[in-house]
């Protein structure tokens, strides 16, 4: 009986932290939204820059370790934080911001956005904006939907609230939230890296330090290859391909 309860408890920890490939729920896909500048997956550039992103934090053990590694390698990153965790650990969000990292909105309770009512979606955004502002004195300009799911309503609400929706390069989903093994995380990044990539990782993964251990290999290796690490907003500012400006417009 104890074993059954333990399994049930562990399973419940992951109910609100599951992920799918980023997709629209209304049939309008990447080409439509990318051309309009509504959503960013990656940034065309000839410069050897990439954006590391970390979702679902802050976490009181792993976030400080990641911040320490980023500082060691003079790397900047973007943290897409969950509002209720910001309220628990505001000092970590403040530290990340003070150290030059970008803070993005990742909803308040990490619900599925596939069929979320408009009022709840707006509440998820605004509560997280307020929590981040209270911790850092700044409101984010970037939003990443939980699981990468979005629809027309979510896109429009983001634009109405001066938020740009950010997803990730399709070949840079490390799936570190599944604890696949350090080598798999490392190989996913190193074997697929390209200029302008947005890499999906997590600074909160239940009972796993694989992301931290993978970064210890990824960061020095990519620096050796000539890459530098910037925030998502910095990456967007380096966009070079003419005629496809990224902007928040209707």
Catalytic residues: 55, 202
Q: Give the pairing of strands 49-55 and 39-40.
A: unpaired
92: which residues sit within 8 A by CB, 6+ positions away? 57, 58, 59, 60, 63, 64, 67
Q: Which residues share a beta bridge with 164?
A: 142
Q: How many CB atoms lie within 10 A of CB 57?
A: 24
147/54 Cα distance (integer angstroms): 13
Alpha carbon separation from 66 to 5, 31, 110, 167, 241 (Å, rounded): 33, 33, 21, 21, 32
């Amino acid at each position: 009986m104890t074993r059954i309860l333990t399994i049930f408890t562990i399973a419940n920890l992951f109910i609100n932290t599951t992920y799918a490939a980023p997709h629209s729920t209304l049939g309008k896909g990447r080409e439509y939204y990318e051309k309009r500048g509504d959503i960013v997956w990656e940034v065309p550039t000839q410069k050897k820059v990439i954006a590391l992103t970390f979702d679902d934090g802050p976490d009181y053990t792993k976030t400080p370790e990641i911040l320490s590694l980023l500082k060691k390698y003079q790397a900047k990153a973007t943290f897409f934080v969950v509002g209720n965790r910001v309220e628990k650990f505001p000092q970590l969000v403040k530290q990340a911001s003070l150290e030059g990292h970008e803070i993005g909105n990742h909803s308040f309770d990490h619900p599925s956005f596939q069929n979320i009512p408009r009022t709840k979606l707006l509440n998820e955004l605004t509560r997280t904006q307020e929590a981040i502002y209270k911790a850092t004195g700044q409101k984010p300009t970037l939003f990443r939907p939980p699981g990468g799911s979005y629809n027309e309503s979510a896109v429009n609400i983001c634009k109405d609230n001066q938020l740009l929706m950010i997803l990730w390069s399709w070949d840079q989903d490390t799936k570190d939230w599944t604890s696949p093994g350090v080598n798999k995380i490392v190989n996913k990044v190193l074997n697929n890296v390209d200029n302008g990539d947005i890499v999906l990782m997590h600074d909160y993964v239940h009972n796993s330090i694989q992301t931290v251990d993978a970064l210890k290999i990824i960061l020095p290796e990519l620096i050796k290859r000539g890459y530098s690490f910037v925030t998502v907003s910095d990456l967007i500012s380096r966009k070079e391909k003419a005629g496809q400006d990224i902007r928040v417009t209707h």
